[in-house]
């Protein structure tokens, strides 16, 4: 069986990654936050359907470690083209 590709789902606030090679299909994510995690739809992860805190809490429950989440932040302040910071 070959390696499957890491999946990334992102909003402006949170990034969720899913590794199908690690998943053991426990269904914890589906039962905990079905608004975000739904295997019957495409894409099956929609992080915009809940708050970042709800998504983080659900991902922490993943027993296999197939799901990871992190808040999206920026290290640099935004700037407009042509303007000095």
Task: Note the pLDDT tens digit of each residue in 6-42.
Answer: 999 999 999 999 999 999 999 999 999 999 999 999 9
What residue ranges define each of the domains in the chain, with the CATH number in brackets? 7-71 (3.30.70.20)
pLDDT digit string, tens, across residues 38-63: 999 999 999 999 999 999 999 999 99
**In whole angstroms, how large is the CA radius of gyration of the chain?**
15
The span from the first CA to the last CA of the chain, in angstroms, equals: 51
Place of tokens 């709800």: 54
- Both tokens of 73, joined, read 């932040």
pTM of the model: 0.81
């Amino acid at each position: 069986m070959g390696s499957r590709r890491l999946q990334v789902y992102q909003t402006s606030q949170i990034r969720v990654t899913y590794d199908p090679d690690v998943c053991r299909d426990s269904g914890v994510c589906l039962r905990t936050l079905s608004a975000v995690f739904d295997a019957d739809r495409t894409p099956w992860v929609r992080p915009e359907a809940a708050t970042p805190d709800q998504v983080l809490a659900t991902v922490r429950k993943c027993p296999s470690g197939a799901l990871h989440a992190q808040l999206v932040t920026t290290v640099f302040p935004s700037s407009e083209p042509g303007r000095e910071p």
